[in-house]
Amino acid sequence: MGCALTDQIAKAESQGPDRFLNRELSWLAFNQRVLALASDDGVPLLERAKYLAISAGNLDEFFQVRVAGLKAQLAAGITSASADGRSPSEQLHEIHLEAQRMTTLQDRLFRKHLAPALSAEGLQFVDWETLDRKDQKRLRAMYDAQIQPALTPLAVDPAHPFPWISNLSLNLGLQVRDPNSGAARFARVKVPPVLPRLIALPDGERWLPIEQLIRAHLGGLFPGMDVVSDHVFRVTRDAALLIDEGEADDLLSAIQSGLHRRLRVNDAVRLEIGGGAPPEVLELLIEELELDERDVYRHEGLIDLTSLWQLHACPRPDLKDPNWQPITQSALRNLGPGEGNRDVFSVIRDRDVMVHHPYDSFTTSTEAFVEQAAADPAVLAIKHTLYRTSDKDNRIVRALTQAAQNGKEVVALIELKARFDEESNIEWARNLEAAGVNVVYGIVGLKTHGKVVLVVRRERDGLTRYCHVGTGNYNLDTARLYEDVGILTASEAIGADVGELFNHMTGYSDPGELDQLLVAPASLRTRLMGLIDDEVAAKDGHITIKVNGLSDPALIDALYSASQAGVRVDLIVRGICCLRPGVPGLSENVRVRSVVGRFLEHSRIYRFGSRARGEHIFVGSADLMTRNLDARIEVLTPVLDERLCERINEILAVNLADDARAWELQPDGAWRETRTANSFDVHAHFQELARSR
């Protein structure tokens, strides 16, 4: 790091912790931007319902991970402040205020706006009491045959301890009374998660919340008792896996054991309950779940709005975005066997190829690359990282299996610790091992988050390495919904680096600083600091970064320092951003944008330099979060082909021009919409560009 940058960083540090925005509150602000899409009358109605479901699911995960982490700090007596100067207790206080407000907004949006609008379009939420006898008779038959046998009423008394309430399960809490003795008891009925949250009536236009159907039949679950009251409630628990990797002899077994403990041990962090619950019921739940009053979130209306995904699945294209069919770019057309066709390797050998999902087809690019490698007799080896695989049949995993059966050397580095995908990844790992694939679980203490494929092929002039380095997971489901980029290359220098990287991840070698790739935790942080330093030293310094999150204090201070030195800094940050832009004397040359719309902005792009001096462009898996820089294996590759650099520049320019789905971060931490009368939508624009190629 140069002296100029070091001096400027010291100046930034002198501004104190107020120079940082709080990480947790910044995430809640991101979820508010998602919720704004659900409120937008210009968005198709079922898409609005989808965005409300996404915001509710996001909030669930936030409590399971971030709130749970802060509570664990409090329980451990940790009082150290975050980078912005807040203690864990202060953060929890502000989080609860904002989360309560957000929960109220979600409920109101559903009850007052979306539910009536959906009803007007023939998709109606109904109550049991409003159904006619014919409907009720049909539902009673369904209840008796499909629901009642799966229900288990659990009473609480000296002989029946308070039951375990599983994470995110839907429950009915009841007060039941013996009409003879007058003795009252609390009871709980869990709604099995295998049952649909919303019951579709035969006309496909009306939906009954399942708790209403169960409520209408409670007498059969508690014969001879009076049901005094019943209320829906839901508990959120800590999702952490308690694993000591250093002590684990078998990481797969340790994670399986950790998953079991997560189901049965982890602390509760939130209680959601229907409004009007009696005080004695609420007090019992708070006491038994070891929560505080502030952990209670009261709902008016439907609890668990993630159930709106069910509604979004309705075959109503008139209420959804127009279907998007990804395009096969011209360079990748007519690949595979057949007269006049080319193989994917000859295309990549001629020139690097960039794919931009979901606009470019994942199936005819990344999947085709791996599938052709699996079938090609000239391919000797395939090495692949897998972070989040899809639950369904994964064509890439199938291709790796085929490659191993064809006698090729196949290595799959599967990250078992990918949160909420652990079970799926364990299953894929076992299937691949059974097929003869060499399965590796990564490096102790680090998550393998990099997105890299290496194919080694025998050709006339020797062995050639073909690589894919990307920003997104090798997952067809997310490739249809997430915006990502990937580079397919036969560059000797990049191929050599990727080979060294895989040797490091599967063996005990230390790759040191590679020639082309920027890899965390070995070199990424220092290389990024050096690139920022270069811009500080230049007269026309310019930095443009597109990431999902920016929270690392040291990198933020470096960007502040660049701003103070006159460097123009353009940041496109979808989610968390702890940097304050536009502060005089600190960050007046920094602007921060966030684009939130139909497709989830997921690519990570780094550009340093100017057209006059030349630009250095990198793409890959790393966000500017401390975990990415220090606790994960992340990979950025340089973009070497000038044509592809122009495409990357186009992506950045379009994102910085968008004003239909863009927000700008203000110095006080507030986000302001940039929409104007002549709005420009980034996602619609890239669809048109894909069609034209």
The predicted pLDDT at position 257 comes to: 47
Q: Which of 263, 273, 271 is nearest to 239 (CA)?
A: 263
249 phi/psi in degrees, rounded to 5: -75, -35
DSSP 3-state of 95? helix
Per-residue pLDDT reduced to its tens digit, 148-171:
999 999 988 776 788 899 999 999
Q: Which residues, listed in sequence order, are joined to residue 233 by a DSSP beta bridge?
A: 171, 273
The predicted pLDDT at position 444 comes to: 73
* CA 277 – CA 282 distance, rounded (Å): 7
CA angle 55, 58, 60 (to 5 degrees): 115
Average pLDDT over residues 270-276: 93
570 phi/psi in degrees, rounded to 5: -110, 120
Report whether pLDDT(556) > 50: yes
Per-residue pLDDT reduced to its tens digit, 375-393:
999 999 999 998 776 656 7
Report whether pLDDT(249) > 60: no
Task: Provide the mean pLDDT of the chain.
Answer: 90
DSSP 3-state of 567? coil
Report whether pLDDT(19) > 60: yes
Per-residue pLDDT reduced to its tens digit, 42-89:
999 999 999 999 999 999 999 998 999 999 898 889 889 999 999 999
* CA 301 – CA 370 distance, rounded (Å): 48
Contacts of 548 (CB under 8 A, 6+ apart): 573, 574, 575, 576, 601, 602, 604, 623
The predicted pLDDT at position 446 comes to: 84
* CA 580 – CA 551 distance, rounded (Å): 11
- Are 439 and 427 in contact by the 8 Å Cβ rule? The answer is no
Reported confidence tier of residue 5, pLDDT bands at 50, 70, 90: low
Helix (H) or strand (E) holding 122: none
The alpha carbon dihedral of 131, 137, 139, 144 has a sign of positive
Per-residue pLDDT reduced to its tens digit, 406-452:
999 999 988 766 555 556 667 777 888 888 899 887 777 788 899 99
96 tagged catalytic: no
Report whether pLDDT(686) > 60: yes
The predicted pLDDT at position 155 comes to: 86
Average pLDDT over residues 14-35: 94
Please report, rounded to a whole number, the percentage of residues in the chain having pLDDT higher than 70: 90
The predicted pLDDT at position 642 comes to: 96
88-92, 388-392, 559-563: range with lowest mean pLDDT: 388-392
The predicted pLDDT at position 213 comes to: 96
Give the pair of three-digit tokens for residue 442: 């990564």
Q: How far is CA 5 from CA 551, 562, 624, 645, in A?
A: 19, 7, 18, 27
- Are 225 and 155 in contact by the 8 Å Cβ rule? The answer is no
The predicted pLDDT at position 390 comes to: 61
39-53, 500-514, 515-529: range with lowest mean pLDDT: 500-514
* CA 122 – CA 315 distance, rounded (Å): 12
Reported confidence tier of residue 676, pLDDT bands at 50, 70, 90: confident
Q: Which of 384, 449, 504, 602 is catalytic?
A: 449
Tell me the residue type at 611: R
Per-residue pLDDT reduced to its tens digit, 569-616:
999 999 999 999 999 999 999 999 999 999 999 999 999 999 999 999
Three-state SS across 519-532?
EECCCHHHHHHHHH
Report whether pLDDT(10) > 90: no
The predicted pLDDT at position 241 comes to: 55
The predicted pLDDT at position 394 comes to: 84
* CA 501 – CA 520 distance, rounded (Å): 11
